[in-house]
Amino acid sequence: MSEKSREELRSEYEKDYLERLAKNRETELDQYGETSMSEEERTKKIEDAEKVQNESAAQVQASSAAKNQSEDELKKKVEFEKQVSTLRDELQVLKEMVILTDELESLKKQIKKPSRKKATKKKAPKRKATKKKAPKRKATKKKAPKRK
């Protein structure tokens, strides 16, 4: 086979293929009872399809917004419950502190009020100490030694 025959075969095959496609298209149109549409009908169908698409997109956005809002509300609720729990714990600690403070005050009062008085020694009054003067000694004469 030469180069020309290959090209001729390809062109014949392409023509045959295009004819088959055209026939298939006609049979499909006949099956559905459709004929070629006018531009107005085509534009109207496209507009209707766009409306439906826009409405469904709006519904999807609305549902996702509602979902996000519910998730946000749930997060806020959880945070609020945590805060309430923390405040309850703090309140309980404060109540315990008040009880302990009251007990401490009552114990302090008991300590300040002794049940018996302790016996204490009385201190003797201090006396002024006066110095007694030593008696004066008389000077004695020394005896001179005897000379021999």
The domain spans of the chain are 9-112
| d(C-alpha 52, C-alpha 58), whole Å | 10
Average per-residue pLDDT for the chain: 83
Average pLDDT score over residue span 24-35: 70
Q: Which of 23, 25, 20 is nearest to 36 (CA)?
A: 25
Query: pLDDT tens-digit profile of 77-98?
Result: 999 999 999 999 999 999 999 9
| d(C-alpha 52, C-alpha 54), whole Å | 5
Structure confidence at residue 24 (pLDDT): 85
CA neighbours within 13 Å on the CB side: how many for 96? 6
Q: Which residue has the higher pLDDT, 124 or 62?
A: 62
Structure confidence at residue 35 (pLDDT): 55
Residue 104 has pLDDT above 90, yes or no: yes
pTM above 0.85, yes or no: no
Residue 64 has pLDDT above 60, yes or no: yes
